Structure 1
Amino acid sequence: MKMKPEKNQVTWGITIFVMCVCLMLAYYVIFDGKTIAKNLGNIVDSLSGIIIGIVLAFILIPLMEGIEHRILIPIYKKRGIDVSMAISADKKKRSQMRKISILITMAIFLFMAYSLFRVIIPQLVSSIREIANNLPIYIKNVDDYSNLFLANNPELQQIIDSQLDNYYETLSSYLTQKLLPLLPGNVNTIVRYASRSFISGIKIVFDLVVGFIVAIYVLNSKERFTTRGKKMAYAVLKEDAANELISGFRFVNYTFQGFIGGKLVDSLIIGVICYIGCMMLKIPYPVLISVIVGVTNIIPFFGPYIGGGMGALILVLISPVKALVFLIFVIVLQQFDGNILGPTILGNSTGLSSFWVIFAITLFGGLWGVVGWLVGVPIFAVFYALVSRITNVLLTRRGLSVQTNEYTDLAYIENGEYKLLSDKNNTKHNARKNTSAFKKLFHFNLNVKKNNKKSNDTKK
């Protein structure tokens, strides 16, 4: 006779198994966390090529979709070919269109990478080398300006000169001992570093090649991945739970693509405008300063101040007047970015207020560094949306309103009725209720203490 377990027994068995696994994981995380972190680091390092490919594909998906929807699909429609996502669409022609869009996308990406390494990086290297070689001249220029403005205050001048000497010494040692040896042109240094990191260099090249191939595969098969994910969700979960899960992933994708993609485009435009402005204002090292401003602009909120401050520090060495002109120009540029360009490109992709943006940057920047500055805002936006969703569901179950504005002037809720602070009777009544509740709690605690004291005295 075959014994068939009951449904409750199977449920309890699965629950006990999951609890045991969670307890084991908690034990190892608490008492052996370094080993787990090391193993996770090894896993991430072994999959670095695939991770690079997925990240690259995620960044290039908007470009590929833009090429498809705005260029290729209209061309195919004029020729009477259906290449939509419908089941009845011409699959061969759609596959052909996808390959063409991937080819154009990767060609644009390679062209931008070539331009970066062929045009921008040599100019950056040249600017850094020129700053390092002319550093004594720049120090003398700043000393002359400080002597001119502080001639009538020798004590303040002495303090500023000592601080500037420390700053110049630190900058000079960094440029001459750490940065310059890494720049192209020093044969001995190149040979030494190449001999030390030959294997790591091969691994980097291998990861980049693998990442490039994986990016092409992900771009070509992104609909297949999403389709299989939906299939698994509906196979494992109930319909409502699967719908919520798929909707959540759509929101995550929308938030990350809208924010990161928009930030990259916004920063590229700001960098180009900064370069044009520096050329018109005849500011030294326009490429170096524009790259600094464009790259730091990716960081939300704090990025413009970091880029402007770094550029001004470089220009102070050369000409304080040019540094002041640059600061004024950067302030105007960031006002244009914050009020016109940024909202046009990004819109309200995160839905966070300025306070939560600062909070997310501070939190995730402290945890993950520069990467946290970039991805912290969309991650917190997803968490914020999840909390808002759970809050609205709980309020709906209790028959309460989910509109935030209805809680602005709220005093309390009684029997489903909203009592407002604007009504003085409600405010007084609410105060009396709170006072009486506090008194009851206070007297209860006193009675508990008295009873405990009596019992202790009786025992004695």
Structure 2
Amino acid sequence: MKMKPEKNQVTWAFTIFVLAVALMLTYYVIFDGKTLARSIGGIIDSLSGIIIGIAIAFVLLPLLEGIEEKILYPLFKVIGKETSEYGKKDKKRRAKIRKIAVLLTMIIFILIVYSLFRIIIPQLVDSIKEIATNLPIYVKNVDEYSNLFLSNNPDLQKIIDSQLDAYYENLSEFLTKKLLPMLPNVNTIVKVASKSVFSIVGVIINLVVGIIVAIYVLNSKEKFTTVGKKMAYSFFRESFANELIGGFRFTKTTFENFIGGKIIDSLIIGVICYIGALLLKIDYPVLISVIVGVTNIIPFFGPYIGGIAGALLLVLIDPVEALIFLIFVIVLQQFDGNILGPMILGSSTGLSSFWVIFSITLFGGLWGIIGWLIGVPIFAVFYAFVGWITNILLEKKNLSTNTEDYYDLAYIEDKQYKPLSDKGNVKFNASKEADTFKKIFNVDGIKEAARQKKVAKADKSPEQAKDDKSDKT
């Protein structure tokens, strides 16, 4: 006789297993965090190729779907081969369309990467080398400008000269000792190749594995979602499985819209910055545009970082040119923040400005640059999850889930909403105390005395008022 476990037993077993794993992880985090961190780091290193591939696939997913929906499906419809997205009869045709879409997506991706390494990076290298070579001349120019404008203020000039010397020393050391040795040339390539053969081979292998994994994920993305939905309905009850699948869809949409939209937005801003730099005849337009475009990916703080970095570079060449660049970047960022960004991103996170700043600060402190990039969508998912749990708990208590209903709320008593606007609701410190200004100047007391005087005057008879007037006289 076969023993077949019931669905509830499987669910409880899975829940107990997850709880046990969570308790073990909590124990190791508290008492042996370094060992756990090393173990997780080793796992991540061993799976780095797969992680890179999933990341590439995730970034390219909007491009793949755009090629399918906007180009290939309409094209097949024109030639008389209309294909249903979910029809089983069209499975082979959809598989063919998917292979063509994956091929076109990877060709576009490889062309972009090739253009980056073939066109942009050499110009960046040349610009950095030229800046390092001409750095003494640039510093001399800034010194002459400061002497010209601050000749009547020697104390301020002395402070600026000292700061300029420190800035020059730090920048010169960074360029000559750290950045230039990293730039590619024959000698450095040979040295790096001879010293770090295994590292280079490992990077190449990870990239190759990543591209292969990306192709597989893009080609079979429906298989992963299908298996995931199947497992959700097998382990959990129907209502919870629906909520779980909906949560994964929300997470995917949030990350896809934010990260994909931010990359497109930053690419457009970089191109516009390059065109503007050419028209304004700003030095090093490629380097400046790359700085502005890359830093623009960072929400909120990115535009300021890019603008300040570009201005600090240009101020060495020509302070007037740096000022023109700053004005141009401010105008460009106003266009991005008010027109281009909302058009591309929309309300992709649903977070207010405060929570955006909070998430960038928190995850940037935890994970550095990666935290700046993905902190906002991660916090947006967490924020939505907390809101979902809150609404479930409120519904169980038969309370309103509408946030606006709590704006004028003083407290709830016997499930009755007591508003703050009703002065009779004074429980739980609901009555508002007089502010400090009113306490100091006793505004309420003055108003009350004037009111009582007015009432007393109104209550007097004409004869009493006449007698009071004669007494004053």
The TM-score with structure 1 as length reference comes to 0.89
Q: CA separation in 2, counterparts of 1:78 and 1:5?
A: 53
Matched residue of 1:328: which SS? helix
Note the 1:4-15 alignment, pairs <5 A: none
Deviation digits for residues 98-156 of structure 1 (CA, Å, limit 9, x no counterpart): 11111111111111111101110010001000000000110110000000111011111
- Give 1:218-233 correspondences, 5 Å limit: 218-233=217-232
Retained in 1: the 8 A contact 2:59–2:256? yes
- Residues 1:128 and 2:128 aligned together: yes
Could you tell me whether the CA contact under 8 Å between 1:409 and 1:420 is conserved in 2?
A: yes
Is the counterpart of residue 108 in structure 1 residue 108 in structure 2? Answer: yes
Q: Could you say which residue in structure 2 is the equivalent of 1:180? A: 180
Q: CA deviation at 1:183?
A: 1.4
Amino acid of the residue matched to residue 285 of structure 1? Y
Contact preservation (8 Å) 2:11, 2:236: no
Amino acid in the other structure paired with 2:254: T
After superposition, give the CA deviation of every residue in 1:264-295 in whole Å (9 maximum; x if it has no partner): 00000000000000000000000000000000
CA deviation after TM superposition for structure 1 residue 24, in Å: 3.9
The answer for the alignment partner of 1:332 in structure 2 is 331
Amino acid in structure 1 at the alignment position of 2:422 = D
Aligned to 2:77: 77
Distance 1:232-1:108 versus aligned 2 partners, 3 A rule: same
1:151-206 alpha-carbon deviations (Å, 9 max, x no partner): 01111111110111011011111111111122123x33332222111110011011
Do the aligned partners of 1:392 and 1:402 also contact (CA within 8 Å) in 2?
Answer: yes
Corresponding pairs, count: 433
Paired position in structure 1 for 2:457: none
Q: 1:453 matched to which residue of 2?
A: none
The answer to whether the 8 Å contact 2:11/2:235 transfers is: no
1:242 equivalent to 2:235? Answer no
Partner of 1:417: 416
The whole-number CA distance in structure 2 between the counterparts of 1:194 and 1:9 is: 57
Q: Who is 1:403 aligned against?
A: 402
Looking at structure 2, the residues matched to 6 and 69 of structure 1 have their Cα atoms a distance apart, in angstroms, of 43
Corresponding residue number in structure 1 for 2:255: 256
User: Structure 1 stretches of 5 or more lacking a match?
Assistant: 436-460
Whether the aligned pair in 1 keeps the contact of 2:76 and 2:83 (CA below 8 Å) is: yes
Query: Per the alignment, do residues 13 and 66 of structure 1 end up closer, same or farther by CA in structure 2, a change over 3 Å counting?
Result: closer
Contact persistence 1:182–1:190 (CA under 8 A): no
Provide the rounded CA distance (Å) in 2 between the counterparts of 1:19 and 1:304: 43
Kindly provide the amino acid, as one letter, of the partner of residue 210 in structure 1.
V
Q: Distance in 2 between matches of 1:89 and 1:3?
A: 39
Cα distance in 2 between the residues matched to 1:429 and 1:173: 66
1:429 to 1:175, Cα distance in 2 relative to 1, 3 A:
closer
Q: Which AA in structure 2 matches 1:351?
A: G
The residue number in structure 2 matching 1:170 is: 170
Instruction: Find the residue that maps to 1:134 and give its secondary structure.
Output: helix
Which residue in the other structure is 1:380 paired with?
379
**Mapped partners of 1:266, 1:221: distance in 2:** 28
Provide the rounded CA distance (Å) in 2 between the counterparts of 1:84 and 1:163. Answer: 67
Partner of 1:454: none
Q: 404-413 vs 85-94, which deviates more?
A: 85-94
Q: Per-residue deviation at 1:378?
A: 0.2
Flag the 1:327–1:234 CA change in 2: closer, same or farther, 3 A: same
1:389-430 Cα distance to aligned partner (Å, 9 max, x none): 11111111111111111111112222222222222222x456
* Counterpart in the other structure of 2:273: 274
Matched-pair contact (CA < 8 Å) for 1:289–1:311: yes
Residues 307 and 221 (structure 1), Cα distance of their counterparts in 2 relative to 1, 3 Å cut: same
Deviations 1:361-380 (A, max 9, x none): 00000000000000000000
What CA distance in whole angstroms lies between the structure 2 residues aligned with 1:359 and 1:402?
Answer: 25
Distance 2:320 2:430 in 1: 65
In the alignment, residue 125 of structure 2 is paired with which amino acid?
V
Q: TM-score, normalised by structure 2?
A: 0.87
Measured against aligned partners, the alpha-carbon deviations of 1:309-362 in whole angstroms (never above 9, x if no partner) come to 000000000000000000000000000000000000000010000000000000
State the structure with more CA Rg.
2
**One-letter code of the match for 2:281?**
K
Tell me how far apart the structure 2 counterparts of residues 157 and 3 of structure 1 sit (CA, whole Å): 89
Unpaired segments ≥5 residues, structure 2: 434-473
Given that residues 7 and 235 in structure 2 are in contact (C-alpha distance below 8 angstroms), is that contact kept between their aligned partners in structure 1? Answer: no
Root-mean-square deviation (Å) = 2.6
The question of 1:209 aligning with 2:208 is answered yes
| Preserved CA contact (<8 Å) 2:349 2:376 | yes
Give the match's secondary structure for 2:417.
strand
Structure 1 counterpart of 2:94: 94
Partner SS, residue 87 of structure 2: coil
- Which residue does 1:443 correspond to in 2? none
Show the counterpart of 1:439. none
1:104 to 1:10, Cα distance in 2 relative to 1, 3 A: closer
d(CA) in 2 for partners of 1:66, 1:45: 33
CA gap of 1:239–1:321, structure 2 versus 1, over 3 A, is: same
Structure 2 match to 1:394 = 393
Cα distance in 1 for residues equivalent to 2:97 and 2:258? 27
Partner of 2:351: 352
SS at match of 1:309: helix
User: Hey, what's the Cα distance between the residues in 2 that align with 1:369 and 1:220?
Assistant: 32
State how far apart, in whole Å, the 1-side matches of 2:5 and 2:65 are.
Answer: 52
- Structure 1: how far apart are the matches of 2:388 and 2:148? 62
Displacement, 1:9?
A: 11
Q: Distance in 1 between matches of 2:172 and 2:39?
A: 40
For 2:298, give the aligned amino acid: I
Q: Which amino acid aligns with 2:43?
A: I
* 1:384 to 1:12, Cα distance in 2 relative to 1, 3 A: closer
Encode CA deviations 1:430-456: one digit per residue, 9 max, x unaligned.
Answer: 648999xxxxxxxxxxxxxxxxxxxxx
Matched residue, 2:59? 59
Contact kept in structure 2, 1:267 and 1:294, CA below 8 Å: yes
Structure 2 equivalent of residue 148 of structure 1 = 148
